[in-house]
A and B are shown apart, each in its own frame.
Chain A
Amino acid sequence: MTKEKREILIFLIFTLAVLITPLFLRGSYYLNVLVFIGINTMLAIALNLLLGYAGQISLGHAAFFGLGAYISGILTTRFSFDPWLAMIISALMSGGLAFIIGFPILKLKGHYLAMATLGFGIIMFIIFNETVALTGGPSGLSGIPNIHINSLVFDNDLNNYYLIWVITLMVMLLSINLSQSRIGRALRAIHDSEVAARVMGVNARVLKVQIFAVSALISAVAGSLYAHTMTFISPASFGFNFSIELVTMVIIGGLGSIYGSFLGAAILTVLPEFLRVLQDFDIVVYGLMLILMTMFMPGGLISGLRLIGEAIGSRIKRKSVSNA
């Protein structure tokens, strides 16, 4: 089986699993968790394109998530836009903003880039809080309409599950395609040696800005979906802590792996339920996980799974050889 065919097969199996999972679930609690995992998967993939592939850190990605949520929420509640149209506008505006700020910001490297994106996240958080007339300020924006397709309204957990996951699967597929193309290779080349990538004809400066914009656009789509499924948003969901959580998802799942982003998102979505007893100290656990992961499994959980898979694979092969 060629690498390409195996990749398609894995995606089909994953899709099938996503589609049939609700058949095995009773009650709305688990569906609700899975909706969040879907949203977080989109966000982790978005950040992974930037961090895992291009090797550029962003400590302010929650801001693009928030921007998508607020633009969509404001357009629908205050200006009666259709949610779909609002989603498209919020995605384009967020991507556009990232494109504009990307040129100066992505000239920076390493710690400086981390600080600049951190600053951007903080500024956006302040804007979400302070522009009360538009955003509702700290008390939030409520009454955001559900998405609908004709008479099909996405207002219950099962419908939301399919809405979120169909779009998540699309994001996954497009990102996998992108990562395996000349653009994906150019991004990884920039990651490994920006100088050599440029000498090979890769316009690193523009490509980094483009992928930053794509990343912001995907994050905004996730934000818009979040707003329309929750029907209520407040700044607390889009702060610094969440930006760090997103980085944690990407690193724990596996830098440069789309399925890794799903794994990381799933773990970091479920974990808080168990860490509730720790209250605000849950971030300490994330910190510890990050440290342990970078020390002992720098490829993330996905690389661990791959190793186990390979071990089992070679074991089976050996057995079939000895049986023959």
Chain B
Amino acid sequence: MLRIDGITKIFGGLTALEDVSLFVNKGSITGVIGPNGAGKTTLFNIVTGLYTQTSGDVYLEEKNISLYAPEVLAGLGLVRTFQNVELFGQMTVLENVMVGLHTKSKSGIISCSFKLPGQIKEERYIKEKALHWLEYTGMADAAEIKANNLPFGKGRLLEISRALAVEPKLILMDEPAAGLNSRETSALANLIRKIRESGITIVLVEHDMELVMDICDSIVVLNLGKKLAEGTPREIQENPAVISAYLGES
């Protein structure tokens, strides 16, 4: 589904990623873990077109997407959530998800201004679909709440709802469990499994090891910008290099 091929990213003098390659199988949940500053978010920023890599390539289903802009990638079915929750704060929960349907609709400025018949139909479709995704993630009750007024955990859930509205093939989630309590985290685990069962491939950056080991099919470990190890959760837990990287950190 996703192939990352020899990605290097240098910020000024700092090498945030060095020759990182990895492969994400279609329909899998792949975990990306590593200590703070390992380069996990940087990797997501490159894959989603927000940063340009210094060298290396990214392929989505054999298509080289290295230089694609985020909005183009959304159209191709690649979407993400953010570590520092990036909601549309002044908009309602429902409107947030409706923005997720942007690629599923096409009325332009003229047909929107004049409310042409096609636009009215499309608007109804957008609203119905958005409500569907809120029900899917169990947020329908909060539809009319302003996103800024949501409790933190709900904000993370809204980001996932909004991403689902794009009807992606692949979702990258950057620390979806950060700041969640244990009940919210186990609900999240179930939701992620449900999303995978619907045929969507997932890449997950997460510090919550219990969650990662529980739901991931395979795991990639980054440390100081380099790939340290990869394998099944079991292999990773027993890998001496990984253990020392994590022990060395704390």
List A residues at the B interface (Cβ < 8 Å): 174-175, 177-178, 181-186, 188-189, 191-193, 195-204, 210-211, 214, 256
Contact = CB atoms under 8 A, between A and B. Distances in A.
B102 A186 contact: yes
Given A185-B95, A195-B50, A196-B82, 6 more contacts: A189-B99, A195-B86, A200-B74, A200-B79, A200-B102, A201-B74
A199 B99 contact: no
B87 A186 contact: no
A192 B108 contact: no
Interface stretch (B16-24, B109-117, B216-224, B239-247): B109-117
Contacts, number: 100
B91 A192 contact: yes
Contact of A181 (B48, B79, B80, B123): B123
Given A181-B107, A182-B112, A199-B48, A188 B79 contact: no
Contacts of A181: 107, 112-113, 119, 123
A201 B112 contact: no
A182 B107 contact: yes
13 contacts: A175-B113, A177-B113, A178-B112, A181-B123, A182-B102, A182-B105, A182-B112, A182-B122, A183-B109, A184-B112, A185-B98, A195-B70, A200-B100
Interface in B112-169: 112-115, 119, 122-123, 126, 162, 166
Nearest to B144: A3
A198 B102 contact: no
Contacts of B119: 181
A174, A191, A199 pick with most chain B CB within 10 angstroms: A199
B159 to A, nearest CB: 8
Contacts of A198: 50, 69-71, 74
Q: What are the nearest 10 A-B pairs in CB distance?
A: A201-B74, A181-B112, A201-B103, A196-B86, A192-B88, A198-B70, A174-B113, A193-B86, A201-B102, A178-B113
Interface string B76-87: 000110100011
